[in-house]
Structure 1
Amino acid sequence: MNATTSTDTPTLSSPQEPATAKGPRRSLQSFLKPELAVVPVLVVVIVAGAVLNPAFLSYNNIFGILQQTAELGVLVMGLTLVLITGKFDLSLESTFGLAPMVGVYVFLSLDGTALGLADSPVVALVAILVVGALIGLFNSALVVYLKFNAFIATLATLILLRGISLGLTHGETLSGLPPLITAMGQQSFIGLPVSFFVALIVLVVLSLFLSRHRVGRYLYAIGGNQLAARVAGVRVERVLIGVFVVAGVLAALAGLLQMGRIDSIPTSLGQNLIFSAFAAAVLGGVSLNGGRGTLSGACGGVLLLVLIQNILVLAQVPGYWINATTGAIILVALLISRFTGADKSS
């Protein structure tokens, strides 16, 4: 007698395998992929920008757009990794500003306005990324081990870090930065910003990690169903710690890029940037419920957001109206996600 052997071990589905849907809704979801829905909108926005203002397609304007896209894109990629796991990290905004400030303040000598313990740009660069990693580690301890709500815990961290950045420099702007510190944010290569290539490298590496590495697939499994992932043998706590740390490093890197572009570190560096980051992620088809989204889609959302804001600036729209568009864009993106299936709660 032949006995049939069955295994009850859960398997981890690919991030590209959405939940089964039936009828017209399935057809709509298969036609309107969340990460691709932004592409036709990008085309329309670019054409509209070119028609409304000839300066839109000028070299200097495109150069600036790529710089801003790179800075926000690196931050959004860190946020996307966290969102895929079903968690939040609002403190990335403060990490964006505090990490460069700490690295420069502690390890560079700027006309007596900093401690200058090493007075070494290389040490300062390393310190910036290390500070980002430590902030991510701190957040992961709150969320993973103390079981704090990720939204509230990282909101508290955001406020705490913003206060530290103000107290550290007494509200003063750090300037006179050495060229090595500002190179990634200011220099160009073959006519394009170096920061753009930095963001592109990060995008390619992390995209391959998410699609090809089993730990990358674990992120989707945790965001989709943490209990099932744990039963399947995923070390959920270890993966979440790694995600928060990587997100912190990416936020610090993004802050480094913007710091280089503006050649200074104001205490307001990165302020309110988290709202743009969430808007871009949602525009790119990243689900706020976890388990779904791609980095390429999120970066598409970043480009769309930066293009819209650039068009409004060229049209000389007052700044307060430009800020209001971010909220409107989030609402539109949520509406789009409802029809494309990115919102799993629908």
Structure 2
Amino acid sequence: MDQVLPTTTRNAVSKRNGGELRALAGRWGIYVFLVFFIILAGILAPSFLHPDNLSNLVIQLVPLALVAVGQSLVILVRGLDLSVSSVMATAAVVGTSFAGTAHPELPTIVVAIIIGGLTGVVNGLLVTKRQVSPFLATLASMIVLQGLRFAWTHGAPTGAMPPFFRVIGTGRWHELPVNLLVLIPIVVIVGIVVHRTVLGRKLYITGGNPVTARLLGYRVTSITIGAYVASGVLAAIAGLVLGGYSEIVDNSVGEGFELDSIVAAVIGGFALSGGRGTVPGALAGAAVLVLVSNIVLLVGLPIQFQIILKGLVIVLAAACYRTR
């Protein structure tokens, strides 16, 4: 008996220490990995740390970060949003449609946000009221928006974005990318709502255990629809920013962002089963994906390696998700 107790105690201590290490890795691992990635990039390509390259990195990061934050809200409530890329392209096309008017900024922003919000409402209703799987519901929305956009533009490039959005997409203010001034307030607001308010706790509980959320009296349907609406609105804003960066808009704006945003969220600590993750983690995940693309270009590898490395990052994300 005297030998059993110490052995049991040692096992308990070992399990506790292992659990604490896993918790620390799950909470801070992405940030450690991001710092390691930055150091590695600086070693492999000294030009990586040049101010101009860092500024370009931020400019490229902002659209993906906006979409990743919106996607993370949907994942938080056990959903997926594949329509974000189509919302982005549609918002950019809207921007070119108002390019010839006297003051295109306000109507472009309003119409783009309405399109993103309505897409989110449709997605949320399909998922909650009709019990359609998030994958199929948002895939259908993506295809419908794509068809409407092709019908509007006749499948051809639609022209240039208004100057206001080109400034937002590529401009700098005191060497600071202008689009960062769009990202920061949005991330701060979303971060406060998710991590410091009752609504944020409801999001986590709804995603972690919808049954418990209903027993507590939470409006699970409204909360889920709200997450999809936020994702659609943020995707629309990202589409305007990315359209300003591209300047000449076609129907492929935002292509691939639906998968990249999901990967960024999962790398950043969000569980596809819902109820777990942080907004800063989603931003860190988006930064990792942008760094991968930048390192490939700086090192001088063929563009195909960018796709290969992104695939490896996705595998790593899947492994991390499985571990969590």
TM-score w.r.t. the length of structure 1 is 0.85
User: Is 1:101 aligned to 2:93, yes or no?
Assistant: yes
> 1:31 offset after TM fit, Å?
2.4
- Structure 2 matches for 1:173-252, cutoff 5 A? 173-252=157-236
* Counterpart-to-counterpart distance in 2, 1:59 and 1:164: 41
- Tell me the residue number matched to 2:25: 32
> 1:22 offset after TM fit, Å?
5.3
Equivalent residue letter for 1:39: Y
> 1:44 offset after TM fit, Å?
1.9
* Structure 1 unmatched ranges of 5 or more: 1-20, 110-115, 342-346
Cα offsets for 1:241-270 (capped at 9, x unmatched): 111111100000111111111212111101
Q: Do the aligned partners of 2:76 and 2:270 also contact (CA within 8 Å) in 1? A: yes
> 1:72 offset after TM fit, Å?
0.3
Q: Do the aligned partners of 1:103 and 1:127 also contact (CA within 8 Å) in 2? A: no
Q: Decide which of 141, 148, 151 is 1:167's aligned counterpart.
A: 151
Cα offsets for 1:38-86 (capped at 9, x unmatched): 1222222212212222221122211110011111000000000000011
- Tell me the residue number matched to 2:7: none
User: Is 1:137 aligned to 2:118, yes or no?
Assistant: no
* Counterpart-to-counterpart distance in 1, 2:18 and 2:272: 20
Q: Do the aligned partners of 1:276 and 1:326 also contact (CA within 8 Å) in 2? A: no
Q: Do the aligned partners of 1:81 and 1:243 also contact (CA within 8 Å) in 2? A: yes
- Tell me the residue number matched to 2:271: 287
Q: Do the aligned partners of 1:125 and 1:181 also contact (CA within 8 Å) in 2? A: no
* Counterpart-to-counterpart distance in 1, 2:18 and 2:217: 33
- Structure 2 matches for 1:1-346, cutoff 5 A? 23-34=16-27, 36-105=28-97, 107-109=98-100, 120-339=104-323, 341=324
* Structure 2 unmatched ranges of 5 or more: 1-13
Equivalent residue letter for 1:300: A
Equivalent residue letter for 1:54: P
Instruction: Say if 1:177 and 1:30 are closer, same or farther in 2 by CA, change over 3 A.
Output: closer
Cα offsets for 1:104-129 (capped at 9, x unmatched): 32x343xxxxxx6x873321122111
Identical aligned pairs, as a percentage? Answer: 33
* Counterpart-to-counterpart distance in 2, 1:119 and 1:191: 27
> 1:24 offset after TM fit, Å?
4.5
2:271 aligned counterpart, secondary structure? coil
Instruction: Say if 1:209 and 1:258 are closer, same or farther in 2 by CA, change over 3 A.
Output: same
Higher helix share: 2
Q: Do the aligned partners of 1:280 and 1:301 also contact (CA within 8 Å) in 2? A: yes
Aligned length: 311
1:292 aligned counterpart, secondary structure? coil
